[in-house]
A and B are shown apart, each in its own frame.
Chain A
């Protein structure tokens, strides 16, 4: 073999380093995809004995009894869905109108600090929301807010019965506080993406500022706002620690929001390390699989909804 020139040597070396580099790039990407796929595979494998034992009844039975190895997830599904719905109704209202104010009405000097504070709210760890909810919020709700609601609206079944501090209602409010930043941040982007011409046309027709907001901007942003709410709902469904600390952890379905309840995530958090039988562990992992699949679907939907709105704005 002929001796290489300096350039040839250099070229050969850079080809080799390029090959290694691209292997690293594709390797990392492949590993990432494998991890996501592995999540599903592992959770499915872990819950296989529970799936075999209970089948579809797992979702429809409300007996959760580790002593007799009977596991039905209905009370937890109910608690998860109801606490998240309370959260999204409250957080959706506050988050959407708050975002509308920040984008359209607020002077810059007000909007920037408020937006900063709301964004930081998203950074607070969930264990701190739980701590605050347990020791500060729950006593206030039990002593003041819940008796008030019962006195005024006690004819509704959801506000009847004995009042507990740790309840679906408390969990819903804590979750609402936790997901407000998600609703607000995405709604702000979505509202800002509504075409400038639409607002100007509306103002030129003599609409007031609020009429422009309510009849032009918000209707134009509906899809994106819906996406923001779905994404926030996903956060609420999977939230674990804060919910576990304030919901009361009782696997029962009650009409009243003032009763303790249980969620999918908090059962796993509370019982996993104490699960004695293999079937028990498997049932808990199946709850995790359920959470995984549901939040995969919810986040997928949210991404499709917000992406159609936000992508043109971000086009490079």
Chain B
């Protein structure tokens, strides 16, 4: 036999009109805010969907293996831009990682007082500086004196864009290494250098790698600073002191061109970019998750 509410000794009394109004209003609020969350999440799916549909139909082997060709000539590709992205981002990683990780070590282990607070503040604020302003900095520092656009200047801009993320994730993950690990190392009489490099940093490895992957994801799709640093190129270019094609920049150039054929290539390039960026982001999450399971 089932017992309904009305049969219970203290059954619910019928709702007054006022209470019904309050519950109704509450439901409207909950559903309305749920709609907002759903809207925000569906925007990603909407954009991903369009890029996937438009991009896959425009994708072909030549696109991945050939260099750009004039409008209307078939068999054009962005292979030089893909390689250029690897070169520019690779050099940026090589520049930013040591500076970022060591600054993170400073903040986590040695940073006390006003100077450390200033460094933290600068790292937070730098992450919000528009990338185009950082591109201008790279231009005045590295392009103007040599009168020559170069992939290196783009790497410099990218390295600066990566720094805040690398610094703050390195700091957080190093600070989270349990104190007893640090004290254990000290108790063994190991030097600061050895305990930091051989014990503390390896223990914080997962967090540092996560930050690095997210930083790479951030700059892989970055376009604005490239306009006047890497500048772009129609040809194979492997020398980082020369102007170089970069995928994100090619997507931009093709998208604002008046040609239908180039629009299709922009979608295909965008598809490659978004796949790369999503893989980087998801693997950054996986690295962190594995750490907690280990």
Residues of A within 8 A of B (CB): 14-15, 17-18, 20-22, 24-29, 31-33, 35-36, 38-39, 42-43, 45-46, 93-95, 97-102, 105-106, 113-114, 117-118, 120-121, 123-132, 134-136, 177, 180-181, 184, 208-211, 213-214, 231, 234-235, 237-241, 244-245, 265, 268-269, 272-273, 284-285, 288-289, 291-292, 295-296, 298-300, 302-303, 316
Give the nearest-CB partner of B54 in chain A. Answer: A135
Contacts of B267 in A (CB 8 A): 131
A95-B196 Cα distance, complex, nearest whole Å: 41
Contact indicator per residue, chain B 9-49, by CB within 8 Å of chain A (1) or not (0): 00000000000001101111110111011111111110100
Question: Which among B30, B45, B118 is the interface contact of A105 at CB below 8 angstroms?
Answer: B30
Known: A124-B277, A125-B222. 11 other contacts (CB 8 A): A21-B197, A36-B126, A38-B137, A99-B37, A105-B34, A106-B37, A127-B223, A135-B263, A181-B40, A231-B128, A292-B133
B interface secondary structure, majority: helix
Contacts of B39 in A (CB 8 A): 94, 98
Contacts of B141 in A (CB 8 A): 38, 42
Question: Which among B44, B50, B127, B251 is the interface contact of A127 at CB below 8 angstroms?
Answer: B251
The verdict on A268 contacting B136 (CB below 8 Å), with A125-B277, A131-B255, A180-B40 known, is yes
Contacts of B87 in A (CB 8 A): none
A273-B225 Cα distance, complex, nearest whole Å: 12
Contact indicator per residue, chain B 183-195, by CB within 8 Å of chain A (1) or not (0): 0000000111110
A-B contact pairs, 21 of them (CB 8 A): A17-B193, A20-B193, A25-B102, A33-B122, A101-B30, A106-B37, A114-B37, A117-B41, A118-B37, A120-B44, A124-B44, A124-B274, A124-B277, A129-B47, A131-B51, A131-B267, A213-B29, A240-B130, A296-B125, A298-B128, A299-B127
Q: Are A125 and B274 in contact (CB under 8 A)?
A: yes
Q: Are A28 and B274 in contact (CB under 8 A)?
A: no
**Closest beta carbon of chain A to B131's beta carbon, Å:** 7
Residues 218-258 (chain B) with a chain A CB within 8 angstroms? 218, 220-224, 227-228, 231, 248, 251-252, 255-256
Q: Are A130 and B102 in contact (CB under 8 A)?
A: no
Q: Are B132 and A14 in contact (CB under 8 A)?
A: no
Give the contact-size bracket for chain B.
Answer: 35 or more
Contacts of B27 in A (CB 8 A): 210
Q: Are B163 and A14 in contact (CB under 8 A)?
A: no
**Closest beta carbon of chain A to B291's beta carbon, Å:** 18
Q: Are B191 and A15 in contact (CB under 8 A)?
A: yes
Q: Are A36 and B223 in contact (CB under 8 A)?
A: no
Contacts of B99 in A (CB 8 A): 28, 31-32
The verdict on A32 contacting B223 (CB below 8 Å), with A22-B192, A127-B248, A132-B51 known, is no
Q: B152 an interface residue at 8 Å Cβ cutoff?
A: no
Residues 78-106 (chain B) with a chain A CB within 8 angstroms? 98-103, 105-106
Q: Are A24 and B102 in contact (CB under 8 A)?
A: yes
Question: Which among A18, A123, A244, A299 is the interface contact of B193 at CB below 8 angstroms?
Answer: A18
**Closest beta carbon of chain B to A19's beta carbon, Å:** 9
The verdict on A288 contacting B191 (CB below 8 Å), with A95-B40, A125-B222, A131-B267 known, is no
Q: Are B32 and A97 in contact (CB under 8 A)?
A: yes
A43-B44 Cα distance, complex, nearest whole Å: 36
Contacts of A237 in B (CB 8 A): 130
**Closest beta carbon of chain B to A110's beta carbon, Å:** 8
Give the nearest-CB partner of A136 in chain B. Answer: B50
The verdict on A128 contacting B47 (CB below 8 Å), with A28-B106, A35-B160, A213-B29 known, is yes
Question: Which among A94, A127, A208 is the interface contact of B40 at CB below 8 angstroms?
Answer: A94
